[in-house]
Amino acid sequence: MNGLYASVWAETLKIRKSKMFILTLIAFSGIAITMGLMVFVSRYPELVGNSAMVGAKASMFKDDWTSYFGLLIMMILTLGTIGFGTITGWVFGREYSDRVVGDLLALPVHRFTIVLSKFIAIIVWCFLLSVILFLFGVATGLAVNIAHWSVDSAYHYFIIFMVTSIFTMLLSTPTALVASYARGYIAPIAFTIGTLIVTQILFVGIPNTTQYFPWAIPSLYSGVSGAGGGTPDMISYIILFSTILLGFIGTVAWWRFADQK
């Protein structure tokens, strides 16, 4: 039984037994189903009767698979960023807020392994949520019979969706550092929302800088950010992966060297 296996086992047990796990499964599947139903409502606005708000929202959803896939990608960029950030903040921050971190610091398992196993658990959890969002979205879309379905198109957008999702989940490494530094999960959630707000401000105010802001790059890659956003280049990807790497190294270094009071 090696340290990584034991540590990943422990992390998955903690996740499986948490309310957070069930809540995220419900949230991601529920939102995916809602997306499909909104397209259905946009086709039959009389279904919502006098509800102007639902009617107005539904009008934003086009009865077309290309638009619908775009919506799903938009969801993974927003809901994914918030969801993955919250998950990361919880996995690292709960050790401090539940005051159990001491149990992980003087073990035969190296602290690097503890941190690595947490990231592995986060990636698996986030990957599962991404697949659920896509599959439930597609299933609901098929159920409400959205126009112009094609397997080739579905595969094409699935790849973009998953790569966008992977970029988004990997960008959680700085969030882990914030959670560890702040010793809780409020600060990482605030940090995640902050990155989302800054990304939006950059897209609206100075779109030509978005290529160099790590949290905007998944959106640029996916192509759903619109014409003003530009396309990510080599430097963009270097910035993206440097941010991910620095977040990871920073978190490992924090667990390894910082005083754990």
Q: Which residues bind another protein (CB under 8 A)?
A: 1, 3, 6-7, 9-10, 13-14, 17-19, 98-100, 102-111, 256-257, 259-261
**Residue 127: which of 185, 94, 166 has the closest Cα?**
166
206 versus 249: smaller Cβ distance to another protein: 249
We find the least distance from the C-beta atom of residue 20 to another protein, in angstroms, to be 10
CA distance 197 to 45: 32
- Give the distance from CA 204 to its chain's centroid: 22
We find the least distance from the C-beta atom of residue 251 to another protein, in angstroms, to be 14
At 131, give phi and psi (nearest 5°): -65, -40
107 versus 135: smaller Cβ distance to another protein: 107
19 versus 205: smaller Cβ distance to another protein: 19
Give first-to-last CA distance, the chain, whole Å: 30
We find the least distance from the C-beta atom of residue 116 to another protein, in angstroms, to be 14
The DSSP code for 18 is: S
We find the least distance from the C-beta atom of residue 247 to another protein, in angstroms, to be 20
H helices present in 44-64, as ranges: 52-59
DSSP secondary structure string for all residues of 145-204? T-SS--HHHHHHHHHHHHHHHHHHHHTTHHHHHHHHHHTSSHHHHHHHHHHHHHHHHHHH
103 versus 233: smaller Cβ distance to another protein: 103
We find the least distance from the C-beta atom of residue 177 to another protein, in angstroms, to be 17
7 versus 243: smaller Cβ distance to another protein: 7
